[in-house]
A and B are shown apart, each in its own frame.
Chain A
Amino acid sequence: MSSSSSQIAVYARIRRNPRFTELVAKRQGFATLLSVIVLVIFYGFFMVVAFNPGVIGKRLSEGSYLTVGIAAELFMFIFFWLLTAYYVKRANGEFDAITTEIIRDASKEVK
């Protein structure tokens, strides 16, 4: 896929814009942080399943059938989804606003 020369000029301008570096660092840092949270909790849970399965079936309280495993999974379903909602909110709001600004500046300068 080839880009036109005016596009390439815009790409070069965007790269030189410190706001772009800031955007990428901010968004990538945020996405990485959330990914690490999900992966650590998820694989942590799988490690418990793999190496200490006895914990999974433990009941949270006497007389209740809510176990550590079921509670932990329900928590993951809800928490992971809330993290996606948080990411979408920030990315579609704050980060996209910076993106629009960067593109506008770069396109203007080229013309």
Chain B
Amino acid sequence: MLARLNLALLALLAPALAVAGDAISATEKQPLNLHAIGMFVLFVSMTLGITYWAAGRTKSTADFYTAGGGITGFQNGLAIAGDYMSAATLLGLTALVYTKGVDGYIYMIAFFAGWPIILFLMAERLRNLGKFTFADITSYRLNQSKVRTMAAVSSLTVVCFYLVAQMVGAGQLIKLLFGLDYNIALFVVGALMMVYVTFGGMVATTWVQIIKACMLLAGGTLVAILAMSQFGFSFDKMMGQAISLHTLGDKLLFPGTLLPDPITALSLGLGLMFGTAGLPHILMRFFTVTNAKEARKSVLYASGFVAYFFNVILLLGFSAIIIVGQNPEFFEGGQIGGKIIGGGNMIAMHLAKAVGGNLLLGFLSAVAFATILAVVSGLALAGAAAISHDIYARVIRKGKSTETEELRVSRFASVGLGLVAIVLGIAFEKMNVAFMVALAFGIAASANFPVLILSMYWKGLTTRGAIIGGYAGLVAAVLLVVLSKSVWVTVLGNAKAIFPYDQTALFSMPLAFLLTYIFSTLDNSAEGNAERAMFDDQYVRAQTGFGASEASSH
């Protein structure tokens, strides 16, 4: 299977090779990068080999969704870090530091600070109560059909928006890095994702994520070391030069346009912190480990890698101000201070080229491609689980389907999601998709997180409250983003935004909490009381792990 797939990949690359000669005239598309393609093919061969091996071990639904629950804390920590550090992290945040200075660092701490909170308040309960999806927890003592349907709807919304944002980014990036056509790039990403997820399930997805995380950490570190060596490893020396050269000057060190007002700053902080705690593909990773002990270790390792990498990115961004920003080679027409070749997202790549030549550029390009692949695979798996485990097995078949049937549906769902991702990716090519990631985090923070945390902590939660609050959070998050500048003005072309802030969590999240609280408290139905009565047993299981789903043996 491996050899055949490699051939298929080469066949996909062939037309691009043929047109590479005349592609240089196009401003966006770059000449074919052979180093990058070589290293990427190596990565793909390796991951397909792993998928082949994983396919042999993916026999039950537990294998498919959670790798049989046998992943260690360290492996899962790397995989979570891999899920969390997308190509947008490497390229986007480096560019953010390059253009806006310390604003980028503030953004990163908000991205990071959710992890300790997830550990302290959620990790252990997630593992003790959950099995395959986070809906297992929210529906533990509530109405299965209603709560699972809601969880699946909001999960799929999050997954789709996140997936489309990744796919569009992937297409643009691959066009730039590899000189491949946008549509071909989407097919390559979509096809590989489908192969990983459909055949290898969570085992393959986890290992793809682990390999990619190691590559990303190594690549980023290497570029940072080479860049810092140009300043004698002195932070002060680098900063001094960066400030004297950058158009912002001293303002690089102050919060700027990213956080124009207090409401935006707080809303961003809330959305990133609690959005993380509501992302279905991140939550799902907690069910892949053996027990609560390993779940806690996962967060320890994951947050360590994420924190480390964010600080590496800070160095990349600041050093690029001098190394890339003063090199005419990286500007269109050789005009320093003009338009960066390939746009702002290419800063990290240009830096790699400047300090390590084509070989390092090729490696980092392959890392970026691998990163996209790994992240979309994790997303597709989470989406497939929502369809097959929540909707099909629990809502439609009421738990009466066999494992084989559920597994078959999950595989069809993965392929379906892959096709949806390709089609939407092509449809949204020309659109500014920055709002989609914000939307995904907004929905995760406003629809998933409130119901999830209340189901674990609050005895008074009932189905009625959860449903009203959860859907209200979902609708509010979508509506506010549509009415904000990023969609209302940038995408729809209206003159003025109706909702004045770009960050919505400060409004939609409290709304979800408030409505959930009010309607649960007012719920005097017999069902509501029965649901409250079941909290005590759930509480013991959440605290002790007694009765928690165990790792399946191989």
* A residues adjacent to B (C-beta < 8 A): 1, 3, 7-8, 10-11, 14-15, 20, 23-24, 27, 31-32, 34-35, 38-39, 42-43, 45-47, 49-51, 53-54, 56-57, 63-67, 69-70, 73-74, 76-78, 80-81, 83-85, 87-88, 91-92, 96, 99, 102-103, 106
Contacts and interface: CB of A to CB of B under 8 A. Distances in A.
Given A35-B116, A42-B113, A46-B266, 4 more contacts: A50-B261, A65-B239, A88-B119, A99-B543
Contact of B102 (A56, A77, A96, A103): A56
B109 A88 contact: no
Contacts of B109: 42, 45, 73, 76-77
A11 B235 contact: no
A83 B116 contact: yes
Contact of A46 (B250, B253, B269, B300): B269
B296 interface: yes
Contacts of B262: 47, 50-51
A63 B237 CA distance: 10
A50 B102 CA distance: 14
B266 A96 contact: no
B544 interface: yes
B187 interface: no
24 contacts: A1-B139, A11-B547, A15-B540, A34-B116, A35-B117, A35-B121, A39-B117, A46-B269, A57-B250, A65-B239, A66-B236, A69-B105, A69-B253, A70-B253, A73-B105, A80-B112, A81-B116, A84-B299, A84-B303, A85-B300, A87-B119, A87-B120, A92-B293, A106-B546
Contacts of A8: 537
A57 B296 contact: no
A43 to B, nearest CB: 7
B540 A92 contact: no
Contacts of A31: 120-121
Contacts of B108: 73
Contacts of A102: 544
Interface string B95-114: 00000001001101110110
Interface stretch (B304-312, B329-337, B489-497): B304-312
Contact of B254 (A46, A57, A81): A57
A21 B537 CA distance: 14
A46 B265 contact: yes
A71 B105 CA distance: 11
B162 interface: no
A98 B296 CA distance: 17
Question: Looking at chain A's contact residues, is the secondary structure mostly helix, strand, loop, or mixed?
Answer: helix
A56 B296 CA distance: 33
A69 to B, nearest CB: 5
A77 B240 contact: no
A11 B265 contact: no
Contacts of B239: 65
B113 A11 contact: no
Given A76-B109, A81-B307, A91-B124, A14 B544 contact: yes
B102 A38 contact: no
A65 B240 contact: yes
Contact of B544 (A3, A65, A103): A103
Interface of B: 102, 105-106, 108-110, 112-113, 115-117, 119-121, 124, 136, 139-140, 235-236, 239-240, 243, 250-251, 253-255, 259, 261-262, 265-266, 269, 273, 292-293, 296-297, 299-300, 303-304, 307, 310-311, 536-537, 540-541, 543-547
A8 B537 CA distance: 7
Q: What are the nearest 9 A-B pairs in CB distance?
A: A65-B239, A50-B262, A57-B254, A57-B253, A50-B265, A31-B120, A53-B255, A11-B537, A77-B307
Contacts of B544: 14, 20, 99, 102-103
Contacts of B265: 46, 49-50
Nearest to A10: B546
Given A15-B540, A73-B109, A88 B300 contact: yes
B137 to A, nearest CB: 10
A14 B546 contact: yes
Contacts of B543: 20, 23-24, 27, 99
Contact of A84 (B106, B119, B243): B119
Contacts of B235: 65-66
A27 to B, nearest CB: 8
A99 B291 CA distance: 13
A11 B546 contact: yes
Given A14-B540, A43-B269, A53 B254 contact: yes
Nearest to B109: A73
B113 A54 contact: no
Contacts of A76: 109, 112-113
Contacts of A69: 102, 105-106, 253-255
A103 B540 CA distance: 10
Contacts of B251: 57
Contacts of A106: 546
Nearest to A99: B544
B116 A84 contact: yes
B388 to A, nearest CB: 17
Nearest to B242: A65
A79 to B, nearest CB: 10
Given A23-B543, A77-B112, A1 B140 contact: yes
Contact of B236 (A49, A65, A85): A65
A81 B541 contact: no
B102 A81 contact: no
Contacts of A53: 254-255, 259
A1 B307 CA distance: 37
Nearest to B294: A92
Nearest to A72: B109
Nearest to A37: B116
Contacts of B253: 56-57, 65, 67, 69-70
A99 B545 contact: yes
Most chain B Cβ neighbours within 10 Å, of A39, A69, A103: A69
Contacts of A103: 544-546
